[in-house]
Structure 1
Amino acid sequence: MSMNPARHWLLCIAAIIWCALPGTADAKAARVLVFSHSTGYRHASIEAGVAALKALGERRGMSVVASEDPAMFDGDRLKDFDAIVLLSNTTKRDEPASEWWIGKRREALQAFVRRGGGIVGIHAAADSHYSWPWYGRMIGGWFTSHPKGTPTGLVTVTDRSHPANKGPASPVRRADEWYYFEDFDPTVQTLTTLDPASIGEKDVNPNPTSWSHEFEGARVFYTAMGHSPESFSEPWLLQHLEGGLTWVLHGRRVK
C-alpha cells in the first residue's frame, strides 16, 4: 500500500527535526581543550588534573584533548572546541616575556570567548598573564598571595543553585593552598568561600574560592582549589569541577 505523499513529507520533516535536537544519537560530543602550559611555578597536580578531566570526559561523553602547546591558540585550531580548561597555566608575575598569549594568540582566545566558548580556570589559572588586563577580567581576579603550606580549611557553599554546587552540603573541610586575590571583580557570582579563621588567619571576611560570571559572550567558571595531586581524587572537588564545566557548556552536547 503506497503512503500518502503529504504524510511522507511530514515524516521526513519530523526526522530532520529529531536529528537536529540536542541529545539525539548523531549529535556531536562536546570537545574540551585542557591547556596546562606553564612558564612560572609548575604544579605537581597538573598531570593528576589532566587524568581526572579525561576520565570525566569519558564518563560524560565529551572529547577531551590535553595540550601544553601555545600554538593551539590559532583561530582554526580552536574552532571545533566548545570549552577550554585552563589548568594552573602559570607565568611569572614580573616577567612579561614569560607570557605566551601575545599577538594572534591573544586574538584567538578573545575570538573563542566572544563566540560563546566556555572557560574553566583551575587554581593557578589566576597566576598568569599579569601584563594582559583582559585576561584578569576574564578570570575575575589575579592571585596575590597564599598562607604557607596546604592547611585544612573550612569551605562554605554560598550558592546551592549553581551546578558546581550540587554535591554534598557545606561546610566542607579540605586541605589546599588557599589563594588571596587582587583586582577581584565584585560582580562575579561567588560560589564558595573559605573561613580564614579555620586556617589560622586573622581575616574576618570570608575569602572567595570559586566563582562564575558571564564575560563578553562566554560563561567563565573559576576555582582556586586544586593545588595538590590529591585534590583530583576528592569526590567533592571532582563534582565541583564537573558542575562548573557543565555550566560553561550550557549543558549542551553532554550526557
Structure 2
Amino acid sequence: MFRTFVAALSGLILLTLTPACAEVSGDETRTRVLVFSHTTGWRHDSIEPGIEALRVIAEENGWQFEASEDPSIFDEGALERIDVLVLLSSTTGSTPESEWLSDEGRAALQGFVRGGGGVAAIHAAADAHYHWPWYRQMIGAAFEMHPPGTPDGDLTVVDADHPATRALPERFTRTDEWYWFSDFDGNVRLLMTLDAASIGEEGGEVPMAWSHTFEGGRVFYTALGHTRESFAEPLFLEHVRGGIAWAAGLED
C-alpha cells in the first residue's frame, strides 16, 4: 500500500510540475528584444509611443521584451541575455563627453555584434557617437542634416525581397523628418529611398532604409520614425517588425 501511495504521489507531483517546466523551456526559446532609448542629444517625443508600439509588436510575435534608458546595462551584461538590440532614436551630442557608450559599454556592444547579435536602429540612432567610427560603420552611415519640418515625401521600395519591405507598396507617400547622411556605406543592402524632389530638395534618391551583415551580426536601419504618429501607422510598424525579425535571423 505504501508503494502504491508513493507511486501515486510521484505521479501527482509530475503532473503538477510539467506545465511549469514546459513554460520555462518555451521562454528560453523566445526571441529576446531590448529597446534602448537613452538620449544625451535631441530627444524625440516619439520615443515613448515608440516603446509602447514595440512592446505590442513583441507581444504579438511572442518575443520577450525589455526597455531601458540606462547605459550602465551595457556594462552589466544586459546584451548577454538578448538576441536583438533596438536603438530607438538613441541620440548623443556632438562632443565625446556626450556619448553614452565608452570603454566597457563599447566593448560589450562590439562583442554582441561580433557574436552574431542583431541590431535594429530607428531614425535618430544614426545621430550618435560621432567620435566612435565603429558605431558609424555598424549603422552604415551617420546623420548629416535634415530639411526643415516634416513634409510629405515620396518613398520607393528598391528591394521588396526583405522582411522590412515585403508588405510595403512599391511607391508611397508619408510624413516624416527626412535625413541626409554622410559616410554612407555603398555596400549595404539598400531597401528604400526618398525622392528628394518630392520635398522640394535636390539630391535625387536619398537612402532611407537598409540592412547589412557587419562583423558577424545583422544590422537593420530605418531613417523613418521621427513623428509620434509614425508609431500608429500599420505600414511603418510592419516595416520595423520586419527589420527586427531580420536582425534576429527569424526571417530572410
Please say whether Structure 1 and Structure 2 have the same fold, judged by a TM-score greater than 0.5.
Answer: yes
Structure with more helix by fraction:
2
Deviation per CA, 1:61-104, whole angstroms, max 9, x where unpaired? Answer: 001100000011036322110010000011112x1100121111
Matched with 1:65 is 66
Deviation at 1:152, TM superposition (A): 0.3
Larger mean Cα displacement after TM superposition, 106-115 or 161-170? 161-170
The 5 A counterparts of 1:25-64 are 28-64=29-65
Give RMSD over aligned pairs.
1.3
Matched with 1:225 is 224
Deviation at 1:27, TM superposition (A): 5.5
SS at match of 2:77: helix
How far apart are the structure 1 equivalents of 2:151 and 2:63? 34
Matched with 1:176 is 176
SS at match of 1:163: coil
Question: Does the 8 A contact of 2:119 with 2:219 survive in 1?
Answer: yes
The answer for unaligned runs of 5 or more in structure 2 is 1-24
How far apart are the structure 1 equivalents of 2:69 and 2:168? 33
Identity value in percent = 53
Deviation at 1:168, TM superposition (A): 3.3
Instruction: Give the count of matched residue pairs.
Output: 227
SS at match of 1:56: helix
Question: Does the 8 A contact of 2:157 with 2:168 survive in 1?
Answer: no
- The ranges of structure 1 where at least 4 consecutive aligned residues each deviate by more than 2 angstroms after the TM superposition are 24-27, 74-77
The answer for unaligned runs of 5 or more in structure 1 is 1-23
SS at match of 2:81: coil
Verify: 1:197 aligned to 2:216, yes or no: no
Larger mean Cα displacement after TM superposition, 72-81 or 101-110? 72-81
Instruction: Provide the TM-score with structure 2 as the length reference.
Output: 0.88
Matched with 2:20 is none
Matched with 2:75 is 74
Matched with 1:208 is 207
Question: Does the 8 A contact of 1:145 with 1:181 survive in 2?
Answer: yes
Instruction: Provide the TM-score with structure 1 as the length reference.
Output: 0.87
